[in-house]
Structure 1
Amino acid sequence: MLAVQQLSHSFLNGTEPTQVLAGIDFRVERGEMVALLGSSGSGKSTLLNLMAGLMKPTEGSIRIDGHQIERMSENALAVFRRTHIGFIFQSYELIPHLTVRENVELPLVFQGVKAKARRARAGELLDRVGLSGKTEMFPSQLSGGQQQRVSIARSLVTEPAVVFADEPTGNLDTKTEAEIIDLLIELNETLGITFVIVTHEHEVARRTKRIIQLRDGKLVEPDPAAEPETRRGEGGSP
């Protein structure tokens, strides 16, 4: 569903190229929940921007749902992102003067979906993320965890092929972090949503089904400390 093949990327530092990613090669299957784990400077933000079609790679290819996105024009990419990709951001990126419901509906406005259908879809998702009683409130009236739940609902409203979550628990306390990851796991398991969670936190990564770890722009074997919980204890006692 998501295939990254021999992906490399460099930035120009003056006249000299600086390589940020080198030979990245992996797949994410439909319905997987994968962590892209890396510390600051590992290249994970660049990789996310490339996979989301926000930048063009120096070399290699990226396919999402059968579409080779690095070959698309900017206009085609903008349409593709609206229909095939969902985003969850660390800082929520909610529009303050819109209600919770209106924030979730917004991607459907850009698709030309009629108001009644938008309202029904937003209501369904807000109920699923536990915010059915807060649809007409504004973001400033919600806690950080509740705002992130709105962001999650918004990411799903267009029924995207993949959702990229960029440090989705970075602004949350430990308890709320666990609740948000629990919610993402539930959505993955019940709706079959494909999630790629970009994080520097081992505790977040190990809650997913598989870890793709970056270090200095290259893929490495995942740190045993971040081993997914689903693998712990296999073949013996935990």
Structure 2
Amino acid sequence: MLAVKHLSHRFRNGDEETPVLHDIDFVVDKGEMVALLGSSGSGKSTLLNLMAGLMKPTQGSILISGESIERMSENQLAEFRRTHIGFIFQSYELIPHLTVRENVELPLVFQGMKAKARKDKAVALLTKVGLGEKTEMFPSQLSGGQQQRVSIARSLVTEPAIVFADEPTGNLDTKTEKEIIDLLIELNESLQITFVIVTHELEVARRTRRVIQLRDGFLVEDELWAGEEQ
């Protein structure tokens, strides 16, 4: 599903190069739910950007569904992201003047899906994440946890191969954080969607079945957990 092979990355500033990632190597299988754990400066955000095709690595390769994304052109990458990758953001990234349903439908607009089919799919997903009665509301009318549920539904609407969640509970209180992780676990199990959750919180990471930990740009731990509070 996702294979990161001997990945290294350096940022260049004039004649100076700053190494950020060092020979990162791991595989995520289809249907896994994995946490990418690291503190600020560990390299996890850079690794996320590389895996999502938003940057190209200095060395190494990244394969998603057997495709080497580092070899793709910008146009190819844009199309690949639209069809293979879902994103969940810490700040939700919802469009305020669109309804909840329209926000979820938006990726399907870019795919050229007809209006009725888009609406039916969006409503079905919103119902699955517990927002079936709020489809015609606007993001400003929802709580933070509800807005993140909209973001989760939007990430799944194109039936991606993999979903990257970037600090998905970072703006939420403890109770809502648990509810969102519970929802992601349920979706992972029921839909067999592959999730990579990027977080600096050990409590969040340990809810998943596997933790990949970065420190100072090195992979320091790749461990299976029994999963807490599943």
Structures share a fold, TM > 0.5?
yes
What amino acid is the match of 1:135?
T
Q: Write the distance in 1 (CA, Å) between the matches of 2:34 and 2:13.
A: 32
User: Where does 1:36-115 land on structure 2 (aligned, <5 Å)?
Assistant: 36-115=36-115
Which one-letter code corresponds to 1:158 in the other structure?
A: T
User: Given residue 91 of structure 1, which amino acid in structure 2 is its aligned partner?
Assistant: S
2:137 aligned residue: 137
Alignment partner of 1:198 is 2:198: yes
Cα shift at 1:15: 1.1
Ranges of 4+ aligned residues in structure 1 off by more than 4 Å: none
Q: Does the CA contact (< 8 Å) of 2:207 and 2:228 recur in 1? A: no
Name the Cα RMSD after superposition: 1.3
By how many angstroms is 1:231 displaced?
7.8
Runs of 5+ consecutive residues of structure 1 not aligned to the other structure: 233-238
Alignment of 1:215-226 (within 5 A): 215-221=215-221
Counterpart Cα distance in 1 of 2:156 and 2:48: 18
Separation of aligned partners in 2, 1:23 and 1:117: 44
For 2:16, the aligned partner's letter is: E
**Residue in 1 that maps onto 2:19:** 19
Instruction: With the length of structure 1 as denominator, give the TM-score of the two structures.
Output: 0.94
Q: Which residue is 1:159 aligned to?
A: 159
Helix, strand or coil for the counterpart of 1:23? strand
SS of residue paired to 1:134: coil
- Which residue of structure 2 aligns with residue 207 of structure 1? 207
CA distance in 2, matches of 1:16, 1:194: 37
Question: Is 1:32 aligned to residue 11 of structure 2?
Answer: no
What percentage of residue pairs aligned between the two structures are identical? 80
Distance 1:100 1:45 in 2: 28
Please tell me whether the aligned partners of residues 205 and 228 of structure 1 are also in contact (alpha carbons under 8 angstroms). Answer: no
Q: Does 1:230 align with 2:230?
A: no
Q: Distance in 2 between matches of 1:8 and 1:231?
A: 32
What is the rounded CA distance, in whole Å, between the counterparts of 2:128 and 2:228 in structure 1? 28
Give the TM-score taking structure 2 as reference length.
0.97
> How far did 1:16 drift?
1.0
CA offset at residue 205 of structure 1? 0.1
* Corresponding residue SS for 1:154: helix
Letter in 2 for 1:144: G
State the shift of 1:229 in Å.
4.4
The AA in structure 2 aligned to 1:197 is: I
CA distance in 2, matches of 1:140, 1:107: 20
The question of whether the paired residues in 2 share the 8 Å contact of 1:11 and 1:17 is answered with: yes
Residues 86-121 of structure 1: per-residue CA shift (max 9 Å, x gap): 000000000000000000000000000000100010
Paired residues in the alignment total: 229
CA distance in 2: counterparts of 1:7 and 1:213, whole angstroms: 15
Whether the 8 Å CA contact 2:62–2:70 is kept in 1: the answer is yes
Runs (5+) with no aligned partner, structure 2: none
* Displacement of 1:14: 3.0
